[in-house]
Chain A
């Protein structure tokens, strides 16, 4: 199995993390935007419903005053709007558009007689205010109109609070998700490294096993085929290894294998072995592709003589 260089792997991992983070952030932003938009529409609908209720109350209470053309009573009816901070101006008009009474908060601009299009639509939404017109009926026939204008300052203030809360929750969620993903990624990476170790390392000797040897051999051969050069293979076979196991016990046999491969590793380090692998009592080593066959052969023989003497 060819393995990516650790620096490249780390960089790709970091980019993947950032890409995941950016994707999650984008999704959260889109979701937040949609939530804020939905909230805006809901607040707007609620505001219009509230104003509609007030318009209905006004119209129900101003029928008599309108019929008897009582401006003072109509003005008193409109005065209750003082309790509704969103209402900036209001007016009661007869069917001819003549104003019977008006209400203005803090010198706000008065409302005008409603055009037919506004009466039919019910309300008109602008950037900073909404105007609502309602026909005043009695006994099933229209006798006038009530017009209310409310500014949207409170609506926008509520929307800003909601937007702030939504974005805070989104950012908090993003941070928590990032921490969880990063932690999970570390755990997965550690598990992968452990699995890789179990799959490629002989547990007795601590050397790469036959599977790792096969991979390294394939990789080395492929590299030689592509770039030229040569590689060497060193095969060590311990004679009568079974006697060691049978007479001194398996533990001593394992210890012997461990010492042999420790020495082999030391030799490998001195001779620039790329990999040593062990299969039972046999050990393999491959030379680096750049090593010349003659020099490597000489060094191998010399080291092997020392090893044989020691053993």
Chain B
């Protein structure tokens, strides 16, 4: 995809509706939806038929992501793994990063260099430094930007339906 496409502006309002959805629950739902529109390499083995969504134990998203345990994606049950060591990230298919992961991001990148892991973050610095999907708030809405180059390096294919909704695709 050439250059930077400005696509549809998202998404759910954060505080305007009568019963606003808490921000982190909304982000947890986004993580699930991103995984729905992502294709992993066919040769990738999902151990135990599980889709591992990894998160720092200190992350505020840990609790809302727990609500995804009952769901599945493409026939694979969702397992929420709380990983506090960089070495433990190899078995992940989705990794959510926030500001608490900022310091170890460079190490994480090295470890995941050859891995097909969908990295999602709501931290601006990590977003600027090579995560695949970056969440941010804009006018009381959550929007996301996609780094297609990083996705290709991870051998992940993001659906055009998802790309169409992104604020920017780089």
**Contact surface of A with B, Cβ cutoff 8 Å:** 61, 63-65, 67-70, 72-73, 76, 138-139
The reply to whether A73 and B73 form a contact with Cβ atoms under 8 Å apart is no
Minimum distance in angstroms from B20 CB to a CB of chain A: 13
CB of B14 within 8 Å of the partner chain: no
Main secondary structure on chain A at its contact with chain B? helix
Query: With A68-B33, A139-B36 given, is the CB distance from A73 to B74 under 8 Å?
Result: no
Query: With A72-B8, A73-B8 given, is the CB distance from A67 to B36 under 8 Å?
Result: yes
The reply to whether A63 and B161 form a contact with Cβ atoms under 8 Å apart is yes
The reply to whether B164 and A73 form a contact with Cβ atoms under 8 Å apart is yes
CB closest chain-B residue, reference A74: B8
Interface size on B, residues (CB 8 A): 17
Minimum distance in angstroms from B161 CB to a CB of chain A: 4
User: In the bound complex, how far is the Cα of B143 from the Cα of A73, in angstroms?
Assistant: 13
The reply to whether B36 and A68 form a contact with Cβ atoms under 8 Å apart is no
By a CB distance below 8 angstroms, the chain B residues around A64 are 33, 37, 159, 161-162, 164-165
Query: With A139-B73, A139-B74 given, is the CB distance from A70 to B8 under 8 Å?
Result: yes
Across the A-B interface, give the 3 residue pairs with the lowest CB-CB distance, nearest first.
A64-B161, A73-B8, A67-B33
Show 14 residue pairs from A and B whose CB-CB distance is below 8 angstroms, ordered by the A residue: A64-B33, A64-B159, A64-B162, A64-B164, A65-B164, A65-B165, A67-B33, A68-B11, A69-B10, A69-B12, A70-B10, A70-B11, A73-B164, A138-B36
CB closest chain-A residue, reference B142: A68
Residue picked from B30, B162, B165, most chain A C-beta under 10 Å: B165
**Contact surface of B with A, Cβ cutoff 8 Å:** 8-12, 30, 33, 36-37, 72-74, 159, 161-162, 164-165
The reply to whether B162 and A69 form a contact with Cβ atoms under 8 Å apart is no
By a CB distance below 8 angstroms, the chain B residues around A72 are 8-9
The reply to whether B11 and A69 form a contact with Cβ atoms under 8 Å apart is yes
By a CB distance below 8 angstroms, the chain A residues around B161 are 61, 63-65
Minimum distance in angstroms from A79 CB to a CB of chain B: 13
Minimum distance in angstroms from B80 CB to a CB of chain A: 18
By a CB distance below 8 angstroms, the chain B residues around A67 are 33, 36
User: In the bound complex, how far is the Cα of B159 from the Cα of A73, in angstroms?
Assistant: 15
Partner of B10, one of A61, A63, A68, A76: A68
Minimum distance in angstroms from B159 CB to a CB of chain A: 7
Residue picked from B8, B12, B36, B37, most chain A C-beta under 10 Å: B8
By a CB distance below 8 angstroms, the chain B residues around A73 are 8, 164-165
User: In the bound complex, how far is the Cα of B34 from the Cα of A139, in angstroms?
Assistant: 13
By a CB distance below 8 angstroms, the chain A residues around B10 are 68-70
By a CB distance below 8 angstroms, the chain A residues around B9 are 72
User: In the bound complex, how far is the Cα of B74 from the Cα of A138, in angstroms?
Assistant: 9
User: In the bound complex, how far is the Cα of B8 from the Cα of A138, in angstroms?
Assistant: 20
Minimum distance in angstroms from B46 CB to a CB of chain A: 15
User: In the bound complex, how far is the Cα of B52 from the Cα of A217, in angstroms?
Assistant: 116
Minimum distance in angstroms from B146 CB to a CB of chain A: 12
Query: With A73-B8, A139-B36 given, is the CB distance from A68 to B73 under 8 Å?
Result: no
Minimum distance in angstroms from B3 CB to a CB of chain A: 20
The reply to whether A70 and B165 form a contact with Cβ atoms under 8 Å apart is yes
User: In the bound complex, how far is the Cα of B72 from the Cα of A65, in angstroms?
Assistant: 20
Minimum distance in angstroms from A260 CB to a CB of chain B: 112
Minimum distance in angstroms from A201 CB to a CB of chain B: 96
Minimum distance in angstroms from B26 CB to a CB of chain A: 10
Minimum distance in angstroms from A258 CB to a CB of chain B: 106
Minimum distance in angstroms from B50 CB to a CB of chain A: 15
By a CB distance below 8 angstroms, the chain B residues around A61 are 161
CB closest chain-B residue, reference A75: B8
CB closest chain-A residue, reference B35: A139
